[in-house]
């Protein structure tokens, strides 16, 4: 364990009960600077949160509290954020996961989304983007999951595998709207667990996923993965 954290972000610390937002946030990161910056910023904005420095602390907090959002460091002193998110999901049903990653490359994003996480936040964290994401989270995150699932079912099948395979990088980055990127992902049986939470993804993450889906479609149709 590290030296004592600043009081405002001591491991296992509690801030503002449920906060002015009506829901709590779990922050798990082994980086002292990230814990301090995120905790102080979000607490100052009225969010209630708990901080854990490692997986063991996070498990203890998850047994005692309900969280609508979890921010997980990519690398922890006793594990990794994606694995921990998977582990906590059965207890924290409906929790939206954000992976904080120093290098959010395509494999990192694919692994996070495959685990059902909502987005990947690069370091340094863009708090404007993070707060926009948090603002869209209702006090009852279970209702968010239900509504998103209904949306997913209604949009499934909007794009064929053939049309997705023919998408160009320019189509993905410039022509497709946010809603169309979501439709592409939901139109095929690409195997990952985050389809019910796509409305919470930022555009960069959605584009990365669409590139993965496009490659998957081309492989299924035996086309070059250019």
The DSSP result for the chain, as a single string, is --SPPPGGG-TTEEEEEEETTTSEEEEE-S-HHHHHHHHHHHHHTTEEEEEESSHHHHHHHHHH---SEEEEESEETTEEHHHHHHHHTTTSTTPEEEEEESS--HHHHHHHHHTT--EEEESSP-HHHHHHHHHT--S-HHHHHHHHHHHHHHHTTSS-HHHHHT--HHIIIIIS-HHHHHHHHHTS----TTGGGGGGS-HHHHHHHHHHHHHHHHHHTT----
Q: For residue 225, what pLDDT is reported?
A: 56
Nearest residue to 52 (alpha-carbon basis) of 74, 22, 73, 82: 73
User: Which one has a higher pLDDT value, 172 or 21?
Assistant: 172
Task: Summarize pLDDT for 42-91 with one digit per residue, the tens.
Answer: 999 999 999 999 999 999 999 999 999 999 999 999 999 999 999 999 99
| pLDDT given for residue 25 in this prediction | 96
Per-residue pLDDT reduced to its tens digit, 129-168: 999 889 988 755 543 343 333 333 444 457 899 999 999 9
Number of CB atoms found within 10 A of residue 201's CB: 24
**Higher-scoring residue by pLDDT: 196, 210:** 210
Domains located in the chain, CATH noted: 7-138 (3.40.50.2300), 144-220 (no CATH)
């Amino acid at each position: 364990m590290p030296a004592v954290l600043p009081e405002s972000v001591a491991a296992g610390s509690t801030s503002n009960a449920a906060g002015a937002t009506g829901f709590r946030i779990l922050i798990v990161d082994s980086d002292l600077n990230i814990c301090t910056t995120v905790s102080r910023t979000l607490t100052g904005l009225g969010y209630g949160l708990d901080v854990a420095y490692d997986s063991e602390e996070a498990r203890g907090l998850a047994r005692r509290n309900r969280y609508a959002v979890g921010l997980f460091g990519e690398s922890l002193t006793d594990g990794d954020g994606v694995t921990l998110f998977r582990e906590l999901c059965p207890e924290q049903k409906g929790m939206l996961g954000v992976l904080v990653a120093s290098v959010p490359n395509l494999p990192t994003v694919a692994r996070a989304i495959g685990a059902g996480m909502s987005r990947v936040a690069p370091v340094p964290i863009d708090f404007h983007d993070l707060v926009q994401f948090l603002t869209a989270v209702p006090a009852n995150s279970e209702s968010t999951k239900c509504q998103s699932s209904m949306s997913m079912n209604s949009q499934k099948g909007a794009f064929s595998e053939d049309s997705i395979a023919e998408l160009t990088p320019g189509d993905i980055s410039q022509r497709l709207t946010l809603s169309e990127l979501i439709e592409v992902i939901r139109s095929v049986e690409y195997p990952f667990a985050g389809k019910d939470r796509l409305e919470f993804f930022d555009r960069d993450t959605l584009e990365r996923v669409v590139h993965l889906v496009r490659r998957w479609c081309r492989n299924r149709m035996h086309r070059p993965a250019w």
